[in-house]
Amino acid sequence: MQANDPVVDAVQCHAEAGVLTITLNRPKANAINVPTSLALYAAFARLQDDPALRVGIITGTGRFFSAGWDLAGANEGEAVDADHGPGGFAGLTEFFSLSKPVIAAVNGLAMGGGFELALAADLIVASETAEFALPEVKLGLMADSGGVLRLPQRLPRAIATELLLTGRRMGAAEALRWGLVNQVAPADGLLPAAVALAQTLVANAPLAQAAIKEVLRRTQGLPTEQAYQVLRHHDLPTYRAMLRSEDANEGPRAFGEKRPPIWRGV
């Protein structure tokens, strides 16, 4: 893709101090079609592959974080079950091997697939103006890019089911009350709040963070006893590598020497 390519312009990346900020800029609603999904996946793959990058932030411009699936594209022939590439819809919803933390900085309306994109992130910082909804049921569809799977893991089942079956909107304050988002920030302070959270993550051990993501993914929904069996006896390569890592020695050593640790990720 070349400069001024509309897909390139729609997905903008800025790397600074170990943080890759990925911005959806596709007026008016930051809707996502197949080319945009592929561009988003390329950005998240860059985060995964570049050792200098530690944390990703996904955000949007304007009134919308993302309106989700591009209905205009659907009217132009994009199938409802179109292949959105190796990361799934929006490049992240099925990028299960992404081992680095991602923060969704939800600047406005997160509708349908936009909400599912936020749910695929590890942490959510929301603007006071943010609203979340899965209105697919009003279109004869369901939120099958992770919404129907992830939302009941993040909210009490009755509340998640209500959102899925009614398509109603949930504001930022309610989302915070239910623990769906990690924090709410003023609109003009959203990105600074997300970057501050990202820098907190950058200061911690990268291999340990990758191991945490691996264990969370592999034990999701399991009873505690069964989860322990997975932790102790199953193939968890990142967790095993963490236990044997130089970082696992560096952390206690730095603590004893009263200095910041120097993480190497090995």
- Give catalytic status of residue 116 as yes or no: yes
78 catalytic? Reply is no
Nearest to 103, CA basis, from 198, 220, 200, 180: 198
* Candidates 16, 78, 94, 116; catalytic one: 116
Instruction: Tell me if 7 sits within 8 A of 35, measured CB to CB.
Output: yes
Crossing angle of helices 246-256 and 206-219, in 10° steps, is 120
- Burial of 154 from C-beta contacts in 10 A (0-12 / 13-18 / 19+): middle
Structure tokens at 190: 């959203």
Q: Of these residues, 128, 136, 225, 246, which one is catalytic?
A: 136
Q: Which two tokens stand for residue 200?
A: 């907190």
Give me the half-sphere count of Cα atoms (radius 13 Å) on the Cβ side of residue 133. Answer: 17
State which amino acid sits at residue 41.
Answer: Y
- The catalytic residues are 116, 136
